[in-house]
Amino acid sequence: MVKEKITESDKKILNLLIENSRKSYRQLAKDARVSIATIGNRLKKLEKNNIIRKYSTLVRYRELGYDFHVIINVKVAHGHTEKLEKKMFNSPNIESIYDLTGEFDVMLVARFKNRKALDKYLKQLQSYEFIERTETQLILKTLKNNPILIE
């Protein structure tokens, strides 16, 4: 499938959704100065081309009792990075998985309600035979976590 070119109208619609994904088609059309039908067609195209993967909500997890926000850097035995990534992909505590260059191979960003849950998770992770070592960093405060606007 050949991906279609992103138009200026698409960029405008994307930026409006980045700012507020709850806008109605009517409000998007008004703000982008296009018809409601155009909004529907452009969004279908952006979803089909996997540019928009899903619509989401930014949640304040700390307010819900998730007091431990951590980065877990993982050194994986040669050739087993994909194995780790597959194992971690559906873990309910993992919010992001990054394949890295440098000293560590994989970075996991995760949230836990308490130290006991984090400890249990780390012990499970370290029990995998292909894990050489881990390094965990506690995120004290998130200063910025916003999507960027499209230029």
Q: Which of 69, 65, 57, 72 is nearest to 111 (CA)?
A: 69
Residue 3 is predicted with a pLDDT of 65
Res. 97: pLDDT tops 90: yes
CA of 127: how far to CAs of 17, 25, 53, 121, 130, in Å? 42, 49, 33, 10, 9
What gap in Å lies between CA 140 and CA 67, rounded to an integer?
10
What gap in Å lies between CA 75 and CA 65, rounded to an integer?
29
Looking at the structure, do residues 70 and 37 belong to the same domain, yes or no?
Answer: no
43-87, pLDDT tens digit by residue?
999 999 999 999 888 899 999 999 999 999 999 999 898 888 888
For tokens 């910025």, name the residue.
Answer: 144
Q: Which domain holds residue 33?
A: 8-48
By three-state DSSP, how is residue 148 classified?
coil
pTM of the model: 0.83
In a domain, 14, yes or no: yes
Residue 57 is predicted with a pLDDT of 86
Cα(first)–Cα(last) distance of the chain, in Å?
25
Res. 1: pLDDT tops 70: no
Looking at the structure, do residues 110 and 74 belong to the same domain, yes or no?
Answer: yes
Res. 145: pLDDT tops 60: yes
The mean pLDDT value for 85-110 works out to 93
**CATH number where 14 lies:** 1.10.10.10
Average pLDDT over the chain, rounded to an integer: 93
Res. 2: pLDDT tops 70: no
Return the higher-pLDDT residue of 85 and 2.
Answer: 85
What gap in Å lies between CA 140 and CA 64, rounded to an integer?
16
CB contact burial 2-32 (16+ within 10 A = b; e otherwise): eeeeeeeebebbbbbbeeeeebeeeebbebb
In a domain, 99, yes or no: yes
